[in-house]
Amino acid sequence: MNITFDSCAKRFVTRKGEFEAIRGIDLEVEEGEFLVILGPSGCGKSTLLNLAAGLEKLSRGEIRFGGEVMDSPEKRLFVPARDRNVAMVFQSYALYPHLNVFRNISFPLEVARKDKAKRSKTVIEVAGLLNISGILEHKPGELSGGQRQRVAIARALVRKPRAFLLDEPLSNLDVQLRVETRTELKRLQRKLSITTLYVTHDQTEAMTLGDRIALLKDGMLVQLGTPRQMYDAPGTPFAASFIGSPPMNLFPAAVRRAAIASGGTTLGLPPERAKVLERMRKERVLVGIRPEHLAVRREGERGLLEGVVKVVEPLGREDLLRVDTAFGELAALSSEGRFEADQKVWLSIEAQRIHFFELESSSWS
Amino acid sequence: MTKEERIKKLVVGAGAVFTLLFCLSPFFYMILTALSRHTDFLRPETHYVVTFSHIHTVLTSQSIHFPAHLRNSVVVSLASAGVAVFTASLAAYAVTRLAFPLKTFFMLFVLALSMFPEISLVGYLFTIMSGLGWINTLQTLVFPYVAWTLPLCLWILVSYFSQIPEDLDRAGLMDGCSRFGVLRKIIFPVAAPGVFSTGLLAFIVAFNEFLFALMLTTDHSARTVPVGIALFQGLHGETPWGEIMAAATVTTIPVVLVALIFQRRIMRGLTRGAVKA
């Protein structure tokens, strides 16, 4: 089932006044797609999920499940959560503390008045799928975080929902478990090919899990695309800095002929990039280059950017160097090692991977 | 054990013993009197002779009507506690889960209502009840008791319900429950110790109430135990202390039993409410 958000808006009225959490979002989640809603805290991503779930009502716009209208203030139509047949996994897991694992998983079936034999069969099946058959008699209080997570997913899956909504389901797990569960979640989603909306603020999760990523900021959709597209062609400085780790270097520079310049230093561009820059018709632009597209050299040569290492942050596989250059402080990754603070270095830029943004486009940091 | 620790332990122990004695001595005296043949057993010339005759009299005497009083008390208290807790849970759920204006004002207003002295209401209550023709019926007590215990129940339950994370409600709604289903299948069971201790408190308040029961009932068909015991004295020429104490002892037993049986749940309930108010 596909999910359509049609110019959706959500306004909250609080004691301090009105607050617009979602301001006009158009989004189509394809059948069987794993769509990640990514954004910083307060961007409205959880609100968007709650709107899809039917836990919140739209202020404007329309939400459709496979063509069927679920929420439309204009048509005075609202299908409550219990009639939407979508399932949700919460960050807090929200397991029922008074029921054991078996009853937790079978709860949606009990509410739907399925007969007992069928209930047991389904619960055992889903528990097997998630490797929790051994803990069915336990109460949630006796389980570890990872086990609770599985129970929550099992409870969501047991009803064979039309869509699967996940609200930061991995943030309460420790790092190692998070990585494992991530892989497993993706495998599970592939296997069941169920339409999935996944909310997170973690760009790594978004990149690894999503078929597509919807990047949100201040209640608006900034960019929508595959992880590859988001990484290779960020549409705004915000998208550029939010996706990718460590984040992209962004710095203002003056536009020259087939080159950019700052503080008397000029950097030549390959023809394709120069054409892009020319088309922007600007005197100054915001330049973006990812740390992994900067190579650090010990010896200088023509066309390289000279700089001084300020800080070395070892990341294990490679070191993150903060290098002071004519274009400001740039982060660069180096697997070569043995660079030290205050050392003079030269940066070689993969010039075809330089991005340009308009300077006036607000808040690029 | 150091000297300081020993002294500390001694002081704590002595304090506990003193508190226990202070609280329990009236009960002890009550039971002693109930079981003594002579009520003046403390005088040096009388001996303490154990007898069950007072208890027997209280339970069987036709003129005292004690079993009827006890039955009335239990019925009235159970009914008012049940209605009060049920109504208060609905209100508490709404207060903790829904956004509505003047919430704090509403809660304080409810609290203020419970602060009227009983005596200021009893006259009007009598007029209302006689107008309804309800004087000397059980419902004449149940309704005022519900009104009387409702604010208390509401305040306690709000503190319990507010501790239950709202994600549980959301999970319930997603799993197909209605709002009422969430309350019945999730909130109630999760808050069970709290609901239970609230119910017990409401029961005890109703069980002990005297003034309304005195004014609104006229004989054993609706009279409750506290009034019944107080009016023992008028029946005979002298004050029948043995029977009074026997009746009081019998009355205490059900409450103590309930408290003992459910001690664990109540303790959990009381402490959980105390952590966050």
> pLDDT digits over A316-348, tens only?
888 999 999 999 999 999 888 788 889 999 999
Angle among Cα A59, A1, A148 to the nearest 5 degrees reads 85
User: Chain A contacts of B182, Cβ < 8 Å?
Assistant: none
| Cβ-contact B201, B269 below 8 angstroms | no
Question: B178: nearest CA in chain A?
Answer: A82
Average pLDDT taken over every residue of chain B: 87
d(CA B182, CA A94): 13
User: Chain B contacts of A87, Cβ < 8 Å?
Assistant: 174-175
d(CA A125, CA A230): 38
Confidence of residue B266 (pLDDT cuts 50, 70, 90): low
Residue with tokens 């394709």: A272
SS (H, E, C) chain A: CCEEEEEEEEEEEECCEEEEEEEEEEEEECCCCEEEEECCCCCCHHHHHHHHHCCCCCCEEEEEECCEEEEECCCCEECCHHHCCEEEECCCCCCCCCCCHHHHHHHHHHHCCCCHHHHHHHHHHHHHHCCCHHHCCCCHHHCCHHHHHHHHHHHHHCCCCCEEEEECCCCCCCHHHHHHHHHHHHHHHHHHCCEEEEEECCHHHHHHHCCEEEEEECCEEEEEECHHHHHHCCCCHHHHHHCCCCCCEEEEEEEECCEEEECCEEEECCHHHHHHHHHHCCCEEEEEECHHHEEEECCCCCCCEEEEEEEEEECCCCEEEEEEECCEEEEEEECCCCCCCCCEEEEEECHHHCEEEECCCCCCC
Q: Please tell me which of the candidates B167, B176, B185 has its beta carbon nearest to residue A94.
A: B167
B170 with A159: Cβ contact below 8 A:
no
Question: A52: nearest CA in chain B?
Answer: B174
Closest Cα in chain A, distance from residue B174 (Å): 5
| Cβ-contact B183, B90 below 8 angstroms | yes
d(CA A102, CA A100): 6
Taking only residues 177 to 196 of chain B, the set having a beta carbon closer than 8 angstroms to any beta carbon of chain A reads 177-178, 181, 185-186, 189-190, 192
* Strand-pair category, A163-167 with A195-200: parallel
Of residues B155, B157, B147, B159, the one with CA closest to residue B195: B157
- The per-residue b/e assignment along A65-100, b for 16 or more CB within 10 angstroms, e otherwise, is beeebbbbeeeeeebebbebbbbbbbbbbbbbebbb
Check whether B58 has a pLDDT greater than 90.
no
According to CATH, the superfamily of the domain at B63-226+244-275 is MetI-like (1.10.3720.10)
Residue with tokens 């006009």: A24
Closest Cα in chain A, distance from residue B187 (Å): 9
- For residue A246, whether the previous peptide bond is cis, meaning omega lies within 30 degrees of 0, is yes
- Residue at B81: amino acid letter: A
Residue B80 structure tokens: 């008012």
User: Chain B contacts of A70, Cβ < 8 Å?
Assistant: none
Of residues A285, A274, A297, the one with CA closest to residue A352: A274
Question: B166: nearest CA in chain A?
Answer: A94
Question: B182: nearest CA in chain A?
Answer: A111
Residue B272 in contact with partner chain A when CB distance is under 8 A: no
Residue A159 in contact with partner chain B when CB distance is under 8 A: yes
Q: Please tell me which of the candidates B168, B176, B178 has its beta carbon nearest to residue A94.
A: B168
Q: What is the predicted pLDDT for the residue at B25?
A: 93
A96 with B170: Cβ contact below 8 A:
no
Residue A29 in contact with partner chain B when CB distance is under 8 A: no
| Cβ-contact B113, B47 below 8 angstroms | no
| Cβ-contact A159, A118 below 8 angstroms | no
d(CA B76, CA B66): 15
A94 with B192: Cβ contact below 8 A:
no
d(CA B119, CA B122): 5
Q: What is the predicted pLDDT for the residue at A361?
A: 55
Tell me how many residue pairs between chain A and chain B have CB atoms under 8 A apart: 55
Domain ranges of chain A: 3-241, 249-358
Closest Cα in chain A, distance from residue B105 (Å): 15
Q: What is the predicted pLDDT for the residue at A262?
A: 87
- Residue at A26: amino acid letter: D
Average pLDDT for residues B84-107, to the nearest whole number? 91
| Cβ-contact A122, A107 below 8 angstroms | no
d(CA A158, CA A43): 31
Question: A107: nearest CA in chain B?
Answer: B175
B174 with A82: Cβ contact below 8 A:
yes
Q: What is the predicted pLDDT for the residue at A75?
A: 93
Q: Please tell me which of the candidates B177, B178, B190 has its beta carbon nearest to residue A98.
A: B190
B171 with A112: Cβ contact below 8 A:
no
Q: Report CA dihedral (B166, B172, B174, B180) to the nearest 10 degrees.
A: -100
Question: B170: nearest CA in chain A?
Answer: A55
Q: What is the predicted pLDDT for the residue at A57?
A: 94
Greatest alpha-carbon span in chain A: 79
> pLDDT digits over B157-208, tens only?
999 899 889 999 999 999 999 999 999 999 998 888 888 889 988 998 899 8
User: Chain A contacts of B178, Cβ < 8 Å?
Assistant: 82
| Cβ-contact B179, B141 below 8 angstroms | no
Segments in chain A below pLDDT 50: 363-365
ipTM, interface predicted TM-score of the complex: 0.84
Check whether B275 has a pLDDT greater than 80.
no
A90 with B175: Cβ contact below 8 A:
no
Q: What is the predicted pLDDT for the residue at A313?
A: 92
Residue A69 structure tokens: 């209208």
Residue B5 in contact with partner chain A when CB distance is under 8 A: no
Which fold is adopted by the domain A249-358?
OB fold (Dihydrolipoamide Acetyltransferase, E2P) (2.40.50)
A90 with B170: Cβ contact below 8 A:
yes
| Cβ-contact A327, A287 below 8 angstroms | yes
d(CA B149, CA B154): 9
> pLDDT digits over A197-217, tens only?
999 999 999 999 999 999 999
Question: B188: nearest CA in chain A?
Answer: A98
Closest Cα in chain A, distance from residue B254 (Å): 29
Question: A94: nearest CA in chain B?
Answer: B168
Domain ranges of chain B: 63-226+244-275
Instruction: List Cβ neighbours of B220 (8 Å cut-off, separation of 6 or more).
Output: B65, B68, B69, B72, B228
User: Chain B contacts of A80, Cβ < 8 Å?
Assistant: 173
CATH class assigned to A3-241: alpha beta
To test the contact with chain A by mutation, choose from B175, B179, B188 the residue with the greatest count of A C-beta atoms within 10 A, namely B175
d(CA A346, CA A294): 10
| Cβ-contact A57, A71 below 8 angstroms | yes
Q: What percentage of residues in chain A have a pLDDT greater than 90?
A: 67
Q: What is the predicted pLDDT for the residue at A35?
A: 96
Q: What is the predicted pLDDT for the residue at B236?
A: 57
Q: What are phi and psi of B75, to 5 degrees?
A: -60, -50
Residue B174 in contact with partner chain A when CB distance is under 8 A: yes
Residue A315 in contact with partner chain B when CB distance is under 8 A: no
Q: What is the predicted pLDDT for the residue at B277?
A: 28
